[in-house]
Structure 1
Amino acid sequence: MRILDRYLAWAVIGGTLLTLGVLLPLMGVFILADEMDSIGIERYGIADALLFMLLSLPRYAYLIFPIATLIGALIGLGTLASRSELVAMRAAGLSVSRIVRAAMLGGLLLAILAFVLGEVVAPVSEQRGVELRRQALSGDVAQRTPDGFWAVDDGSYVNIREIRSGTSLRDIFIYRVDATKGVLTATHAGGARYQDGHWILEDISRSTASAEGVEVERIASAGWDSMLDPGLLKVVVADPHALPVWGLYKYIRFMWVNKQDAGPYEVAFWGKVLHPVLTLSMILVAIPLLLGSSRSTGMGRRIFAGIMVGILYYLISRTFAYLALLFGMNPFLAAIAPPLLFISGALMLLRRVS
């Protein structure tokens, strides 16, 4: 029986890897197509776009891993069903629960692979890709550091501690030195917003140091002509899904301490924590789809069924995520509800098949 368990597990693993081998090149084409509009800006060329695409693929592989597992299980186990091997196994006394257990063993190995991919490989490659893209697009005038985002802006040195979005900034420091007059100007703004093609600084404190002394003035708001447009700043905004789970946890605690809304990061955190459960639930869904169909069902129909189930899951998971963000639903419940719904449906179908 152990030989059959390994045989079924490897059928699931092989089908999943085959599916990833087909889907990832397609994802790469889509990523490269999105980058075409940026090619030619500053030093960003086709080689940079190709490198950015390659470095982004691990993250997209992690995101599509559950769907790839579902389709892979349908392909791998479906191949056995089309050759009547599953029928022969059941006729030899192999129960449906044993088939489920063997398939879940393969799913467990795939879940471990997905965890390593999403928590170790993808964050590093994604960060590197974004950094290389940003350097090429900004002409090496900007740098992301632990102390925030630094940039050289027409003779001024700008430090932005928090980029909420491409058009909303918090905690901005601007330093400018006039060597001819021997004047140093240090400006701090509590926030900035992009409006009508210009930046508006708010809650400004400006200190001017010269040979005569230091002058300090406070201004409610003022315009700021800067080369840092929202398009450049959006490149360095951290995507919650691109952070590892421990990085998300630390960032969520930081936002709690500063009394900021951590909703998107909490949803992403629980989604990553429950990602292995989602991978296993997809295999559980695939088995009743196979056992409930005839041996003559073509591979195309099985793949189509897997794609439809994947789309359905995506719509349900997005719905719960929006409920958490817009209506204050508990992020853990929003993340665990879709896998539980699919597991419940799969168990009901398995009971009917058994």
Structure 2
Amino acid sequence: MRLAPRIHDLYVGRNVLATVLVVWLVLLGLDATLALSGEAKNIGTGSYTFGHAVAWTAYTVPRRAYTLFPMAAVIGALMGLGQLAATSELTALRAVGLSRRRIALSVAIALSLLTAMMVVNGETLAPWAQEKADLLKGSAKYETDMAVARYSGLWAREGNTFLNAQTGEEQVDEGGRSRLLLHDVRLYRLDADGRLASLTHAATARHDANGWTLEQVRHDRFGERSATRQAVASERWDSQLDAAALASGLVKPRSLSATELRSNIEYRKRNGLDARDYEDTYWSRWFYPLNVLALCLAAVPFAFGSLRSGGMGKRLFLGMLFALGFLLLQMFFGRMAGALKFDYRIAYALPPIVMLAVSGWLFRRRSS
């Protein structure tokens, strides 16, 4: 089989790309509209306005495009090939000697162009825009002096005290109540002249129903010509900083590139912290292209045979069924990897292997 593209490869690829783009835009528009309507409940909270909701939705579009692309690819591929089958063009291509594998290869190459674009988007624009969206929403809703620096963690201000936390997460205790846990926390307190009066370092800062608690604390106080140090195991911290505002400002794994996710995983493992959320996101990025390819190849055989007489509704239903089934299978294995603590690479490799096996079986069945 010659791998050099021919005119029929370009024709099939163009039709598939056109339908994928249309489906993708429809799904993206619907998802963005639902997200914007969901933000209505936040309008009026703090200084959050309709303009903030629109801006937040616009910032999240690159991430939504990245997430929705696999589903759009399989539905669009089925609809594009289904249109060719309904007009007997697939039959004509088969009659001139074009094999099913060649048609599937044409589809895979066409979709690989969009997949490559989404991989670049997932590592550059989508994380950056999502971080901006989270910061915009948190700052407007809670009206706090807060900033997020990608390499220096979370910054917040309360009066003359500045807080810096390298990382953190929200947790649920045994009673079902939520709490915020910040790691590697530094509190910088300035005097009236703007000079550093004290520096407090805590391994963790925990906020729960009882307020703030600092653990493994070290105080450094600076005088005109002296400095003193005091260490305590745990102490209360009288602060009015809003834990919800701080939680909204934490950099989420989805807002990081693969390189930054890897750095965070190493940092958390080095310090004995839970890195499962970061590992989950990290390996999902690596398996993203394989997932798209496996999902589309598993659906392509349905364009032959029964779909010749099937309508658009049937193709759409099968595409959604395949896409949703695959996503549920992938989600199941991902959650199992987190719960049972086995390698995420295995969890993310199993679904595409299953789909590729289904694709091979269907191709053999259609060919027999």
Structure 2 CA distance, aligned partners of 1:207 and 1:101?
65
User: Which residue of structure 2 aligns with residue 11 of structure 1?
Assistant: 15
Question: Which of 143, 159, 182 is the aligned partner of 1:154?
Answer: 159
Once the two structures are TM-superposed, the CA of residue 213 in structure 1 deviates from its matched residue by 5.3
What letter matches 2:284 in structure 1?
G
- Alpha-carbon contact 2:191-2:197 (below 8 Å) kept: yes
Larger displacement relative to structure 2 (235-244 or 325-334) = 235-244
Structure 2 CA distance, aligned partners of 1:97 and 1:324?
34
Once the two structures are TM-superposed, the CA of residue 242 in structure 1 deviates from its matched residue by 2.9
- Alpha-carbon contact 1:59-1:242 (below 8 Å) kept: no
Counterpart mapping for 1:210-221 below 5 A: 210=223, 214-221=227-234
User: Which residue of structure 2 aligns with residue 339 of structure 1?
Assistant: 352
User: Which residue of structure 2 aligns with residue 85 of structure 1?
Assistant: 89
1:38 aligns with 2:42: yes
Structure 2 CA distance, aligned partners of 1:161 and 1:294?
54
Counterpart mapping for 1:123-202 below 5 A: 123-139=127-143, 141-145=145-149, 146-165=151-170, 167-179=180-192, 184-196=197-209, 198-202=211-215
TM (normalized to structure 2)?
0.88
Post-superposition CA distance 1:307-345 (Å, at most 9, x none)? 111111111111111121111211111111111111111
Question: RMSD in angstroms over aligned alpha carbons?
Answer: 2.3
Distance 1:197 1:76, change over 3 A: farther
- Alpha-carbon contact 2:13-2:106 (below 8 Å) kept: yes
Counterpart mapping for 1:81-120 below 5 A: 81-120=85-124
Post-superposition CA distance 1:210-263 (Å, at most 9, x none)? 469555443333333333323212222222233222222233233344343322
SS in 1 for 2:183: strand
Structure 2 unaligned residues grouped into runs of 5+: 171-178
SS in 2 for 1:14: helix
Structure 2 CA distance, aligned partners of 1:265 and 1:325?
11
1:239 aligns with 2:244: no
- Alpha-carbon contact 1:288-1:350 (below 8 Å) kept: yes
User: Which residue of structure 2 aligns with residue 298 of structure 1?
Assistant: 311
User: Which residue of structure 2 aligns with residue 313 of structure 1?
Assistant: 326
Distance 1:266 1:183, change over 3 A: closer
Structure 2 CA distance, aligned partners of 1:97 and 1:281?
14
1:350 aligns with 2:363: yes
What letter matches 2:125 in structure 1?
V
What letter matches 1:340 in structure 2?
I
Structure 2 CA distance, aligned partners of 1:184 and 1:245?
39
Post-superposition CA distance 1:161-199 (Å, at most 9, x none)? 22233611112222334539x993432222122221522
SS in 2 for 1:18: helix
Distance 1:173 1:254, change over 3 A: closer
Distance 1:219 1:306, change over 3 A: same
User: Which residue of structure 2 aligns with residue 64 of structure 1?
Assistant: 68
- Alpha-carbon contact 2:299-2:322 (below 8 Å) kept: no
- Alpha-carbon contact 2:188-2:196 (below 8 Å) kept: no
- Alpha-carbon contact 1:267-1:334 (below 8 Å) kept: no
Once the two structures are TM-superposed, the CA of residue 74 in structure 1 deviates from its matched residue by 1.0
SS in 1 for 2:234: strand
What letter matches 2:153 in structure 1?
G
User: Which residue of structure 1 aligns with residue 281 of structure 2?
Assistant: 268
Structure 1 CA distance, aligned partners of 2:110 and 2:39?
36
What letter matches 1:265 in structure 2?
Y
Larger displacement relative to structure 2 (55-64 or 107-116) = 107-116
Identity over aligned residues, as a percent? 32
Post-superposition CA distance 1:116-149 (Å, at most 9, x none)? 2222221222222223323323435111223222
Structure 2 CA distance, aligned partners of 1:311 and 1:83?
28
Question: Which of 265, 268, 283 is the aligned partner of 1:255?
Answer: 268
Structure 1 CA distance, aligned partners of 2:16 and 2:256?
28
What letter matches 1:164 in structure 2?
E
* 4+ runs deviating over 6 angstroms: none
- Alpha-carbon contact 2:169-2:247 (below 8 Å) kept: no
Distance 1:242 1:188, change over 3 A: closer
